[in-house]
Amino acid sequence: MWAGYGFRSELDSHPYIAKWLDIEVLSLRLIDERFYHLDTCFCPLSEGYLLYYPPAFDFYSNRLIEMRVPAYKRIVVEEPDAVNFACNAVNINSAIVMNKVSDSLKQRLADVSFQVIETPLTEFLKAGGAAKCLTLRVTEPVLDYVHANEPVESRTIQLQGHLLDAGIMNKALDLIVENGGSFRVLNFNLGIERQSTSAAEVRVSAPSHGVMEDIMSQLIDLGAVAPPQEACDTNIEVVTQAGVAPDDFYVTTIYPTEVRVNCEWVKVQNQRMDGAIVVGDSPEGATARCKLLRDLQVGDKAIVGVEGIRTSHKIESREKRPAKEFSFMGAGVSSERRVELVVEQIAWELRHIRDQGGKVVVTAGPVVIHTGGAQHLSRLIREGYVQALLGGNAIAVHDIEQALMGTSLGVDMQKGVPVSGGHRHHLKVINAIRRCGSIAQAVEKGVLTKGVMYECVKNNVPFSLAGSIRDDGPLPDTEMDLIKAQTDYARLLQGTDMILMLSSMLHSIGVGNMTPAGVKMVCVDINPAVVTKLSDRGSVESIGVVTDVGLFLSLLIQQLDKLTRPYPVI
């Protein structure tokens, strides 16, 4: 039995139908409100043929139809016929009774030996039905070999926080429906005071286990958890092949995560995006930590499924934030007209972090050098605002090119014009550093006397250069083993309070994936697509600034110069 849900029918009814009639029920979700009942857009015909309108269904339902009905037996109805309820037809053997239909549909049905009998039913269409809605079939055969099947899965979740004013409740319910599920709110306790939080209990239903897992993974990202009595422990499977996780392993996000082990919540260590969670034992009790797939070892106990997992998000206060707080952070992309205001707030936060002994990491691309930002980034390093630098071969090469030869990509940085033979400058620079043995040795020998890399060496600021297939040389400091470079990036990112991402899309995205929620992130790029991609990761502590990175750094230095007083102690 094909059964619809979405507008006037509940998915939770389908298991009851399967049980009562002892029949397999296949659930199809309707997403076009014009087709509110299944028989308005879906008509099984004799000999296994099907007349239907695919846009009325979601992706999962269309895939289910395609898996069950061969392509040569699927007769797709176009929209003009669909809105005239061509699928609301009555089929008796080779005859199909329906409202007036197009000649093309009539011909396609005739090609597979069906005879169309047109009957004017326009008055009945006004009431929302056509031929099928005017009949009641009582001669459906009982198939002895088909028995009850209940693919519909239901789970109960709990949500807590500022569910209404933060939009969490709406997001959760929309997420369930948009991903093919159904819901019923079992309990809702509304916070009655300004700082009170609300709590809700919701039953979630999905047409299959796979759809349920997708829905639950996203609900967990919103902070949903199963009731304690339903999730004493997480599901665990042992890794049997090094570097390969069990099927259905839980994929981590940037948000702080806890898992149930021995009926207690255990905080996951080394939180990062796109990893697996491995649990273990220690003298202090159960442990849990994120591991990349490549780091999994045989015998590791990995969490599978979504039971007994919860994430926590920062709950914003209803109170107005202090005027000098890092208030622009809202996972947004700042337009050009607000650059100066945003830079002022970033400068204030940089000063705050430095004065409190915090850690700022910069990931930068060669555009920083090309746009004249090297002198400003060098000053940030020299004055203690930067505690680590992440980049690729290119930023170091062109920074040293500018320091030694006054050009970047062969362009004179003072006059802005190409220099004769300038296209060879970066290779000469690479050769000079390779002759010294490393960037640090070039500084020690007096070959390199200024620039970003020089300031890193002189001020003991660690840097990591990740290589790529396009690199010339490369510099001896560039790590060409990608796995080692990722590991080194992750090491330098530990304990970071803020990350400045300066015109380096790939390195910035890589750093973003390694960084847990709670770290302030500022992405600066002239291309809005880059900053939007970083903001879309979901962290409320990130912002994108669409502007020239050289201009941004210049404005940042100006704002820092204005902050003559130390950060006030609160």
Can you state the angle between helices 482-493 and 505-514, rounded to 10 degrees?
Answer: 60
Question: pLDDT class for 313, splitting at 50, 70, 90?
Answer: low
pLDDT tens sequence across 496-533: 999 999 988 888 888 988 888 888 989 898 888 777 77
Beta bridge partners of 464: 390
Burial-class residue 442 by CB neighbours within 10 Å (0-12, 13-18, 19+). buried
In the three-class reduction of DSSP (H, G, I as helix; E, B as strand; rest coil), residue 156 is classed as strand
Q: What CATH number belongs to 332-562?
A: 3.40.50.10690
Provide the 8-state DSSP code for 213.
Answer: H
Buried b (16+ CB within 10 A) or exposed e, 251-286: ebbbbbbbbbbeeeebebebbbbebbbbbeeeeeeb
- The reported pTM is 0.69
Asked if 426 is an active-site residue, the reply is no
Q: Among 110, 5, 96, which Cα is nearest to 57's? A: 5
The answer to whether residues 531 and 544 touch, using CB atoms and an 8 Å cutoff, is: yes
Average pLDDT, rounded, for the chain? 86
CATH pick for 153-311 out of 2.40.420.10, 3.30.2130.30, 1.20.1070.10, 3.40.47.10: 2.40.420.10
CA 106, 110, 114, 117 torsion: positive or negative? positive
CA 358 – CA 496 distance, rounded (Å): 7
Any idea how long the chain is? 570
The answer to whether the peptide bond before residue 44 is cis (omega within 30 degrees of 0) is no
Q: Give the DSSP H or E segment for 105.
A: helix 103-111
CA 248 – CA 260 distance, rounded (Å): 17
Q: Per the structure block, which two tokens stand in for 219?
A: 């609900």
In the three-class reduction of DSSP (H, G, I as helix; E, B as strand; rest coil), residue 297 is classed as coil
Asked if 133 is an active-site residue, the reply is yes
Catalytic residue among 14, 37, 352, 398: 37
Question: pLDDT class for 399, splitting at 50, 70, 90?
Answer: very high
Q: Per the structure block, which two tokens stand in for 108?
A: 């396609």
pLDDT tens sequence across 322-367: 444 444 444 445 454 467 888 888 999 999 999 999 999 999 999 9
Residue with tokens 């997992």: 309
CA 347 – CA 502 distance, rounded (Å): 15
pLDDT tens sequence across 445-479: 999 999 999 999 999 999 999 998 888 889 999 99
Rounded percentage of the chain residues whose pLDDT exceeds 90? 49
Please give the radius of gyration of the chain, using alpha carbons only, rounded to the nearest integer: 31
| Residue 483 to residues 177, 294, 490, Cα–Cα distance (Å) | 40, 9, 11
| Residue 23 to residues 62, 154, 161, Cα–Cα distance (Å) | 21, 19, 42
Beta bridge partners of 412: 407
In the three-class reduction of DSSP (H, G, I as helix; E, B as strand; rest coil), residue 55 is classed as helix
Catalytic residue among 41, 43, 87, 133: 133
Q: Where are the domains of the chain?
A: 2-134, 153-311, 332-562
Residue, of 55 and 235, whose pLDDT is higher: 55
The pLDDT of residue 321 is 40
Q: What CATH number belongs to 2-134?
A: 3.75.10.10
Mean pLDDT of the region 130-154:
77
CA 453 – CA 432 distance, rounded (Å): 14
Q: Per the structure block, which two tokens stand in for 474?
A: 């490369």
pLDDT tens sequence across 168-207: 898 899 999 888 888 889 999 888 777 778 889 999 999 8
Backbone angles phi and psi of 372, in degrees to 5 = 85, 20
CA 489 – CA 485 distance, rounded (Å): 6
Helices (H) and strands (E) in the chain, counts: 18, 28
